[in-house]
Amino acid sequence: MSEATFTFRVDETLKSEFAKAAKARDRTGAQLLRDYMRDFVRQQQEAAEHDAWFRRQVQIGLDSANAGNLIPAEEVEAEAAAWRAATRRKIARSAS
């Protein structure tokens, strides 16, 4: 892996406090910054993957609805009412 230098300006006080905090963790500032950069890139990749997955799921749902694969509102409401009733019974049992 080839290495490159990353240079940027930062307030002297911040640099000093960061170096002190890094040393307290037995790390250098450069090590912590590399770790942060790796974590940030990983988080961005995970977010992009999740976004792509979510968009695929929405499209699957839209395609299904457009094909007429729908559940009537009355059926959904009946199922939700049954779920609410079961939850209330569980709460009532745990309260007694």
Q: 63-75, pLDDT tens digit by residue?
A: 999 999 999 999 9
13 vs 9, 10, 33, 46, CA distance in Å?
Answer: 12, 8, 17, 34
Query: Nearest-CA neighbor of 18 among 4, 6, 5, 36?
Result: 36
Q: What is the pLDDT, as a whole number, of residue 52? A: 98
Whether the predicted model's global pTM rises above the 0.85 cut: no
**Cα 47 vs. chain centroid, distance in angstroms?**
7
Whether 1 has a pLDDT exceeding 90, the answer reads: no
Token pair 């960061």 is at which residue? 18
Strand boundaries in 1-96, DSSP class E:
none
